Amino acid sequence: MSEGLTWTVYDADSMTQAEIYGQVLCDLGDQHPEIVGLSADLANSTKIGKFGQKFPERFFNVGIAEQNLFGVAAGLAKSGLTPFVSTMATFVSMRACEQVRTDICYQNLDCKIIATHGGASFGQAGSTHHCTEDLSIMRSFANMTVIVPADGIECANAVKACIDWPGPVYIRIGRGFEPKFYDDEEYGFQIGKAVTLMEGTDITLICCGVTVLQAMEAAKFLKENDGLSVRVLNIHTIKPIDEEAILKAVMDTRRLAVFEEHNVMGGLGSAVADVIAASGKGCAFTKVGIPDCYCEVGYPEDLYTHYKLDADGVIETVRQVMQMDFEEDDDWEDEV
């Protein structure tokens, strides 16, 4: 983490995720003259505009032109600066997909992307604004780091940490109406390291983004009502994924369920499944998200309920996974 900065606790009660990162970026801007900001007519909506107000000469609004946005960012990075680029997740990952891959990731450029309105967080806007594919797309770009913060505080941590993390980083947040999860920033955030929120031995819930809060509520309920010992992992970094934490969960709990605001294909669930499959260990496993369809229209809360990503949905899934059979070998070590 950068030296010489004393971090205040961001007022997460009154600030949205995006406002917090905007503020963090302003603070970082003082210490890091190499930081430049960019957006595409969404400076205000994404809150990177805060940086723009503080450092007008270091901020570039390219208008509604996302391909140009990431091309320009690549050029700025090649000139020795560190661009932070913010627009809606759907336009980063799909409109400017090739610019992000070829112009930024291929050259492993130091470009940090803060993608807003991810998942179904702008559910009422319809399919063009839903973004349930980005984690899959971004994860498939070599050199790219992919982070999905649980709330504004974690977003602040991610933004600070990515300064010293080489290469391109994709930080995916919501629309700004997500409830806060963390009370302060001191919980040991590290890129690539899962956060164990609750210890348990019967089942592990793996989550990121808005599902973290829901999984925790469900875990507490299941402990009290079903007498289950539930482990909860916040795997905020989808790539590089914390293989150790996943393997340990397989060994310790043998039942895993993943919850994410994304198509069940290609995102966190798939990343976890890759690790499990490669380990050769048997376990009960399920992934919950948008079931390979285009998301319905609606306010995010309704959609989270519909797709079983709220606490009730998590509880329902856990009860199912507890009933699942799986090949269990007496001699665990021999299974590979």
Partner 1 sequence: MALSTNEIKDLEQHAWQARQDIIDITGWSGGAHIGGGLSVADILVILYFKYLNVDPKNPQWEDRDRFIMSKGHAGVAYAPVLARKGYFNFDDLQTFNKFKSPFGMHLDCLKVKGVDVSTGSLGHGLSIAVGLALGARLQKKDWYTYCVLGDGECNEGSVWEAAMSASHFKLNNLITFVDRNRLMIDGETEDVMGLEPFADKWKAFGFIVKEVDGHDFNQLSEAIDFAKAEKSGPVVIIANTAKGKGVDFMENEVKWHYGGLDTDLRAQAKASVDKLYGKA
Q: Does 172 bind ligand TPP (CB under 6 A)?
A: no
Pick what 127 binds: partner 1, ligand TPP, none; C-beta below 5 to 8 Å, kind-dependent.
partner 1
What is the spatial distance between Cα 317 and Cα 315, in angstroms, rounded to a whole number? 5
By beta-carbon proximity to partner 1, the closer residue of 39 and 132 is: 39
Pick what 65 binds: partner 1, ligand TPP, none; C-beta below 5 to 8 Å, kind-dependent.
partner 1
Which of 47, 50, 95, 287: binder of ligand TPP (CB under 6 A)? Answer: 95
3-state secondary structure of 37: strand
By beta-carbon proximity to ligand TPP, the closer residue of 38 and 207 is: 38
Q: Are 296 and 306 in contact (CB under 8 A)?
A: yes
With b meaning 16 or more CB within 10 Å and e meaning fewer, what string describes 133-166?
Answer: bbbbbbbebebbbbbbbbbbbbbbbbbbbbbebe
Q: Does 297 bind partner 1 (CB under 8 A)?
A: yes
Query: What Å distances lie between residue 204 and 67, 94, 227, CA to CA?
Result: 40, 32, 14
Q: Does 67 bind partner 1 (CB under 8 A)?
A: yes
By beta-carbon proximity to partner 1, the closer residue of 299 and 332 is: 299
Q: Does 64 bind ligand TPP (CB under 6 A)?
A: yes
With b meaning 16 or more CB within 10 Å and e meaning fewer, what string describes 69-91?
Answer: bbbbbbebbeeebbbbbbbbbbb
Q: Looking at residue 199, what DSSP letter applies?
A: -
In 279-320, the DSSP E strands lie at 284-290
By beta-carbon proximity to ligand TPP, the closer residue of 18 and 216 is: 18
Neighbours of 1 (CB within 10 A): 11
Q: Does 63 bind partner 1 (CB under 8 A)?
A: yes
Question: What is the total count of residues that contact ligand TPP (CB under 6 A)?
Answer: 6
- In whole angstroms, how close is the CB of 172 to partner 1 at the nearest point? 18
Pick what 61 binds: partner 1, ligand TPP, none; C-beta below 5 to 8 Å, kind-dependent.
partner 1
Q: Give the range of 79-87, 165-173, 297-305, 320-328 binding partner 1 by CB under 8 A.
A: 297-305
Residue 257, strand partner residues: 205, 286
Which residues in this chain contact partner 1 in the complex, by CB under 8 A? 39-45, 49, 61-65, 67-68, 90-91, 95, 124-129, 296-299, 302-303, 306
